[in-house]
Amino acid sequence: MKEPVRVLFVNSEIFPYMPESTMSLIGRYLPQGIQEAGKEIRSFMPRYGCINERRNQLHEVIRLSGMNIVINNLDRPLVIKVSSIPSARMQVYFIDNEDYFHRKFVYEDAEGNFIEDNDERAAFFARGILETVKKLRWKPDIIHCHGWISHLLPLYLKKAYKNDPIFTDCKVVLSIYDDHLNCRFSPEMKTKILMPGVKAKDIEPLSGTDGINLAKLAISYSDAIIQCTETPCPELAAFIEERGLPVLGYTDTRQPEGEYIKVYNGFYDKILDNNVN
């Protein structure tokens, strides 16, 4: 019997853990729909400090926690938590660390400034997911990334983890939103995100440390793109066209439940069949 296709969802936001938004609702309903279509799924997001653990019944997965990840020359303990959405028969894994994710703010501080270590948080999030998937011994066919905090994962997957058998032949689908394209990261970001297997030349698309260039870096290491805004950023659209990547144009996610999910599911199948124009 043929193994089901496995899709790993890397989410910036999932409702009900985060407020309703286009991204959080996709994070909630897309994995459920893809699972109901017969694929296996795993879903990850950061454990932001604003998430109420008791109300949402998060608990630590001891067998997956306990590893340290070195970010900016410091060991950061990786903690994995999990919660269930019973109505969707779906579990959500949370990447947690006291230094990065226990503050009550998500991306901006109380004054509305982009948090200074957001680049480190993105690096920890991406690497934490890849290490956790290895521990799960769950081999994904597709990794679907949503939101800027997921944008380092394609780089790490294709460079640092390219020879790991868990990720052999895995395809990266990148959803492009208009979130935080104008944000500015630390000037030291280019050195802070390096790790064994990732060299300075690998991050050349990161010509500037802002959201647009981070998206370009993610695009450079992705296999296919989904446009999630009706009016895509012209600079990113041109960059995607230069790369010659398969693109699924904007699909209204406010359609009746299941319509856009069917479109996305078909796009996954075409990517795996190498039959995408």
What mean pLDDT do residues 16-40 have? 95
What mean pLDDT do residues 67-96 have? 94
- The set of long-range contacts for 80-89, using a CB threshold of 8 Å and a minimum separation of 24, is 80/128, 80/132, 81/47, 81/53, 82/58, 83/17, 83/56, 83/57, 83/58, 83/59, 84/57, 85/16, 85/28, 85/32, 88/28, 88/31, 88/32, 88/35, 89/32, 89/35
pTM for this model (two decimals): 0.96
Q: The tokens of 53 are what?
A: 């653990």
Could you read off the pLDDT of 126-137 as tens digits, one per residue?
A: 999 999 999 999
Bridge partners (DSSP) of residue 88 are none
* Out of 26-35, 138-147, 198-207, least confident range: 198-207
User: Is the C-alpha dihedral spanning 100, 188, 178, 266 positive or negative?
Assistant: negative
Could you read off the pLDDT of 180-191 as tens digits, one per residue?
A: 888 899 888 999
Q: The tokens of 144 are what?
A: 């679907």
Which of residues 181 and 203 earns the better pLDDT score?
Answer: 203
